[in-house]
Structure 1
Protein backbone atom coordinates (compact mmCIF):
# COMPACT_ATOMS: atom_id res chain seq x y z
CA UNK A 1 0.00 0.00 0.00
CA UNK A 2 2.82 2.29 0.85
CA UNK A 3 4.37 1.62 -2.52
CA UNK A 4 1.15 2.54 -4.31
CA UNK A 5 0.84 5.73 -2.28
CA UNK A 6 4.43 6.68 -3.07
CA UNK A 7 3.87 5.81 -6.74
CA UNK A 8 0.69 7.89 -6.90
CA UNK A 9 2.46 10.73 -5.13
CA UNK A 10 5.39 10.53 -7.57
CA UNK A 11 3.01 10.41 -10.53
CA UNK A 12 1.12 13.36 -9.12
CA UNK A 13 4.34 15.34 -8.67
CA UNK A 14 5.45 14.34 -12.13
CA UNK A 15 2.16 15.52 -13.64
CA UNK A 16 2.33 18.73 -11.62
CA UNK A 17 5.80 19.38 -12.98
CA UNK A 18 4.54 18.79 -16.53
CA UNK A 19 1.73 21.26 -15.98
CA UNK A 20 4.15 23.76 -14.44
CA UNK A 21 6.67 23.29 -17.25
CA UNK A 22 3.88 23.60 -19.81
CA UNK A 23 2.64 26.76 -18.11
CA UNK A 24 6.17 28.15 -18.00
CA UNK A 25 6.59 27.34 -21.67
CA UNK A 26 3.33 29.13 -22.42
CA UNK A 27 4.38 32.16 -20.37
CA UNK A 28 7.76 32.12 -22.07
CA UNK A 29 6.05 32.03 -25.49
CA UNK A 30 3.79 34.88 -24.42
CA UNK A 31 6.78 36.89 -23.24
CA UNK A 32 8.56 36.17 -26.52
CA UNK A 33 5.43 37.23 -28.44
CA UNK A 34 5.11 40.40 -26.37
CA UNK A 35 8.80 41.08 -26.85
CA UNK A 36 8.45 40.55 -30.60
CA UNK A 37 5.41 42.84 -30.64
CA UNK A 38 7.27 45.57 -28.74
CA UNK A 39 10.22 45.23 -31.09
CA UNK A 40 7.87 45.51 -34.06
CA UNK A 41 6.19 48.60 -32.61
CA UNK A 42 9.60 50.10 -31.87
CA UNK A 43 10.71 49.46 -35.46
CA UNK A 44 7.49 51.07 -36.73
CA UNK A 45 8.06 54.14 -34.58
CA UNK A 46 11.64 54.38 -35.84
CA UNK A 47 10.34 54.20 -39.39
CA UNK A 48 7.73 56.89 -38.75
CA UNK A 49 10.31 59.05 -37.01
CA UNK A 50 12.70 58.70 -39.96
CA UNK A 51 9.88 59.59 -42.32
CA UNK A 52 9.02 62.68 -40.28
CA UNK A 53 12.66 63.73 -40.09
CA UNK A 54 13.14 63.36 -43.82
CA UNK A 55 9.97 65.30 -44.61
CA UNK A 56 10.63 67.97 -41.99
CA UNK A 57 13.15 69.59 -44.30
CA UNK A 58 10.44 70.01 -46.92
CA UNK A 59 8.01 71.24 -44.27
CA UNK A 60 10.54 73.75 -42.99
CA UNK A 61 11.20 74.97 -46.52
CA UNK A 62 7.46 75.36 -47.20
CA UNK A 63 7.00 77.04 -43.82
CA UNK A 64 9.83 79.44 -44.64
CA UNK A 65 8.23 80.39 -47.96
CA UNK A 66 4.87 80.93 -46.26
CA UNK A 67 6.57 82.99 -43.55
CA UNK A 68 8.29 85.24 -46.12
CA UNK A 69 5.08 85.73 -48.10
CA UNK A 70 3.12 86.81 -45.01
CA UNK A 71 5.96 89.11 -43.91
CA UNK A 72 6.13 90.69 -47.40
CA UNK A 73 2.35 91.14 -47.48
CA UNK A 74 2.51 92.87 -44.09
CA UNK A 75 5.20 95.28 -45.33
CA UNK A 76 3.09 96.02 -48.41
CA UNK A 77 -0.05 96.47 -46.30
CA UNK A 78 1.64 99.03 -44.04
CA UNK A 79 3.26 100.97 -46.88
CA UNK A 80 0.12 100.97 -49.06
CA UNK A 81 -2.21 101.59 -46.09
CA UNK A 82 -4.20 98.46 -46.92
CA UNK A 83 -7.47 98.20 -45.03
CA UNK A 84 -7.83 95.45 -42.43
CA UNK A 85 -10.43 93.29 -44.27
CA UNK A 86 -8.27 93.24 -47.41
CA UNK A 87 -5.15 92.39 -45.41
CA UNK A 88 -6.92 89.55 -43.57
CA UNK A 89 -8.36 88.20 -46.82
CA UNK A 90 -4.90 88.21 -48.42
CA UNK A 91 -3.30 86.47 -45.43
CA UNK A 92 -6.05 83.83 -45.68
CA UNK A 93 -5.39 83.41 -49.41
CA UNK A 94 -1.65 82.92 -48.83
CA UNK A 95 -2.34 80.46 -46.01
CA UNK A 96 -4.76 78.41 -48.14
CA UNK A 97 -2.23 78.28 -50.96
CA UNK A 98 0.14 76.63 -48.46
CA UNK A 99 -2.50 74.26 -47.08
CA UNK A 100 -2.88 76.15 -43.81
CA UNK A 101 -6.47 76.26 -42.61
CA UNK A 102 -6.19 77.98 -39.23
CA UNK A 103 -3.69 80.69 -40.09
CA UNK A 104 -4.76 82.89 -37.15
CA UNK A 105 -3.93 80.04 -34.77
CA UNK A 106 -0.58 79.36 -36.41
CA UNK A 107 2.25 81.13 -34.54
CA UNK A 108 4.42 81.38 -37.66
CA UNK A 109 1.75 83.61 -39.26
CA UNK A 110 1.67 86.03 -36.34
CA UNK A 111 5.47 86.02 -36.05
CA UNK A 112 5.75 86.87 -39.76
CA UNK A 113 3.29 89.74 -39.29
CA UNK A 114 5.43 91.04 -36.41
CA UNK A 115 8.53 90.90 -38.61
CA UNK A 116 6.65 92.66 -41.40
CA UNK A 117 5.58 95.45 -39.06
CA UNK A 118 9.18 95.99 -37.99
CA UNK A 119 10.50 95.79 -41.56
CA UNK A 120 7.87 98.30 -42.71
CA UNK A 121 9.15 100.77 -40.14
CA UNK A 122 6.26 100.69 -37.67
CA UNK A 123 7.50 102.71 -34.70
CA UNK A 124 7.83 101.14 -31.29
CA UNK A 125 5.04 103.46 -30.06
CA UNK A 126 2.63 102.32 -32.78
CA UNK A 127 3.67 98.72 -32.19
CA UNK A 128 2.99 99.14 -28.46
CA UNK A 129 -0.55 100.32 -29.28
CA UNK A 130 -1.16 97.27 -31.49
CA UNK A 131 0.29 95.03 -28.82
CA UNK A 132 -1.81 96.60 -26.07
CA UNK A 133 -5.03 96.05 -28.02
CA UNK A 134 -4.15 92.35 -28.26
CA UNK A 135 -3.23 92.15 -24.57
CA UNK A 136 -6.55 93.79 -23.66
CA UNK A 137 -8.33 91.20 -25.76
CA UNK A 138 -6.67 88.36 -23.82
CA UNK A 139 -4.52 87.24 -26.74
CA UNK A 140 -1.32 86.51 -24.79
CA UNK A 141 -0.22 83.69 -27.09
CA UNK A 142 -0.68 85.93 -30.12
CA UNK A 143 1.24 88.73 -28.40
CA UNK A 144 4.14 86.38 -27.66
CA UNK A 145 4.40 85.33 -31.33
CA UNK A 146 4.02 88.93 -32.52
CA UNK A 147 6.71 90.10 -30.08
CA UNK A 148 8.98 87.31 -31.28
CA UNK A 149 8.66 88.57 -34.84
CA UNK A 150 8.87 92.29 -34.13
CA UNK A 151 11.79 92.11 -31.72
CA UNK A 152 13.54 89.36 -33.68
CA UNK A 153 14.04 91.53 -36.75
Structure 2
Protein backbone atom coordinates (compact mmCIF):
# COMPACT_ATOMS: atom_id res chain seq x y z
CA UNK A 1 0.00 0.00 0.00
CA UNK A 2 2.88 2.35 0.72
CA UNK A 3 4.02 1.91 -2.88
CA UNK A 4 0.60 3.00 -4.14
CA UNK A 5 0.67 6.10 -1.93
CA UNK A 6 4.33 6.96 -2.51
CA UNK A 7 4.26 10.44 -4.03
CA UNK A 8 0.68 9.89 -5.21
CA UNK A 9 -1.03 13.06 -4.01
CA UNK A 10 -4.51 12.25 -5.37
CA UNK A 11 -4.45 8.78 -3.75
CA UNK A 12 -3.38 10.23 -0.39
CA UNK A 13 -6.09 12.89 -0.54
CA UNK A 14 -8.69 10.28 -1.42
CA UNK A 15 -7.55 7.98 1.39
CA UNK A 16 -7.58 10.63 4.12
CA UNK A 17 -10.81 12.20 2.91
CA UNK A 18 -12.58 8.84 2.75
CA UNK A 19 -11.33 7.65 6.12
CA UNK A 20 -12.08 10.95 7.87
CA UNK A 21 -15.77 10.43 7.04
CA UNK A 22 -15.70 6.97 8.67
CA UNK A 23 -14.46 7.39 12.25
CA UNK A 24 -15.86 3.99 13.21
CA UNK A 25 -13.61 2.29 10.67
CA UNK A 26 -10.59 4.31 11.80
CA UNK A 27 -11.33 3.32 15.40
CA UNK A 28 -11.51 -0.35 14.40
CA UNK A 29 -8.08 -0.27 12.75
CA UNK A 30 -6.29 2.01 15.20
CA UNK A 31 -7.87 1.28 18.59
CA UNK A 32 -10.21 -1.69 18.72
CA UNK A 33 -8.30 -4.41 16.90
CA UNK A 34 -6.07 -6.74 18.88
CA UNK A 35 -3.75 -7.29 15.92
CA UNK A 36 -0.59 -5.27 16.49
CA UNK A 37 0.42 -5.54 12.82
CA UNK A 38 -2.90 -4.02 11.71
CA UNK A 39 -2.59 -1.08 14.12
CA UNK A 40 1.03 -0.49 13.20
CA UNK A 41 0.39 -0.74 9.47
CA UNK A 42 -2.64 1.54 9.63
CA UNK A 43 -0.72 4.14 11.64
CA UNK A 44 2.15 4.00 9.14
CA UNK A 45 -0.32 4.33 6.27
CA UNK A 46 -1.81 7.49 7.77
CA UNK A 47 1.59 8.97 8.53
CA UNK A 48 2.82 8.21 5.02
CA UNK A 49 -0.21 10.00 3.54
CA UNK A 50 0.41 12.98 5.85
CA UNK A 51 4.05 13.15 4.68
CA UNK A 52 3.12 13.00 0.99
CA UNK A 53 0.56 15.79 1.41
CA UNK A 54 2.69 17.98 3.68
CA UNK A 55 4.21 20.22 0.98
CA UNK A 56 0.80 20.77 -0.60
CA UNK A 57 -1.38 21.24 2.47
CA UNK A 58 0.61 22.41 5.46
CA UNK A 59 0.10 26.15 4.98
CA UNK A 60 -3.65 25.61 4.69
CA UNK A 61 -4.08 23.22 7.63
CA UNK A 62 -6.03 25.77 9.68
CA UNK A 63 -8.29 26.93 6.83
CA UNK A 64 -11.95 26.04 7.04
CA UNK A 65 -15.05 26.65 4.97
CA UNK A 66 -18.73 26.85 5.75
CA UNK A 67 -20.83 24.30 3.90
CA UNK A 68 -24.54 23.55 3.89
CA UNK A 69 -25.67 19.95 4.19
CA UNK A 70 -29.10 18.39 4.10
CA UNK A 71 -29.75 15.91 6.88
CA UNK A 72 -32.70 13.56 7.28
CA UNK A 73 -34.83 13.71 10.40
CA UNK A 74 -37.36 11.25 11.85
CA UNK A 75 -36.94 8.10 9.80
CA UNK A 76 -35.83 10.01 6.70
CA UNK A 77 -39.21 11.67 6.19
CA UNK A 78 -38.20 15.22 7.06
CA UNK A 79 -35.10 17.01 5.85
CA UNK A 80 -33.26 19.94 7.32
CA UNK A 81 -30.42 22.06 6.03
CA UNK A 82 -27.59 22.66 8.47
CA UNK A 83 -24.43 24.68 8.12
CA UNK A 84 -21.17 23.12 9.15
CA UNK A 85 -17.59 24.34 9.39
CA UNK A 86 -15.21 21.86 7.76
CA UNK A 87 -11.46 21.78 7.26
CA UNK A 88 -10.25 22.52 3.75
CA UNK A 89 -7.36 20.04 3.71
CA UNK A 90 -7.61 16.27 3.83
CA UNK A 91 -4.90 16.09 6.49
CA UNK A 92 -6.82 18.42 8.81
CA UNK A 93 -10.01 16.44 8.19
CA UNK A 94 -8.23 13.23 9.22
CA UNK A 95 -6.74 14.85 12.33
CA UNK A 96 -10.25 16.05 13.19
CA UNK A 97 -11.49 12.47 12.89
CA UNK A 98 -8.67 11.21 15.12
CA UNK A 99 -9.38 13.98 17.65
CA UNK A 100 -12.99 12.79 17.89
CA UNK A 101 -11.72 9.33 18.79
CA UNK A 102 -9.87 10.74 21.81
CA UNK A 103 -13.15 10.76 23.75
CA UNK A 104 -13.40 6.97 23.72
CA UNK A 105 -9.71 6.11 23.48
CA UNK A 106 -9.49 5.44 27.22
CA UNK A 107 -11.61 2.32 26.67
CA UNK A 108 -8.76 0.88 24.61
CA UNK A 109 -5.76 1.94 26.70
CA UNK A 110 -3.90 -1.27 25.81
CA UNK A 111 -3.75 -0.05 22.18
CA UNK A 112 -2.68 3.53 22.90
CA UNK A 113 0.79 3.24 21.41
CA UNK A 114 -0.08 3.33 17.71
CA UNK A 115 -2.96 5.75 18.17
CA UNK A 116 -0.88 8.36 19.97
CA UNK A 117 2.19 7.71 17.83
CA UNK A 118 0.11 8.87 14.88
CA UNK A 119 -0.42 12.23 16.62
CA UNK A 120 3.24 12.34 17.68
CA UNK A 121 4.55 11.66 14.18
CA UNK A 122 2.19 14.27 12.75
CA UNK A 123 3.42 16.81 15.31
CA UNK A 124 7.04 16.08 14.41
CA UNK A 125 6.38 17.17 10.83
CA UNK A 126 6.55 20.85 11.70
CA UNK A 127 5.04 23.95 13.29
CA UNK A 128 1.92 24.02 11.10
CA UNK A 129 1.07 20.49 12.17
CA UNK A 130 1.67 21.22 15.86
CA UNK A 131 -0.51 24.32 15.66
CA UNK A 132 -3.32 22.29 14.12
CA UNK A 133 -3.12 19.72 16.91
CA UNK A 134 -3.33 22.43 19.56
CA UNK A 135 -6.32 24.05 17.82
CA UNK A 136 -8.15 20.71 17.39
CA UNK A 137 -8.19 19.95 21.11
TM-score range, shorter chain: 0.3 to 0.5
Q: Which has the higher contact order (CA 8 A, sep 6+)?
A: 2
Higher share of residues assigned strand? 2
What's the TM-score once normalised by structure 1's chain length? 0.31
Task: Say which one has the larger Rg.
Answer: 1
What's the TM-score once normalised by structure 2's chain length? 0.34
Higher share of residues assigned helix? 1
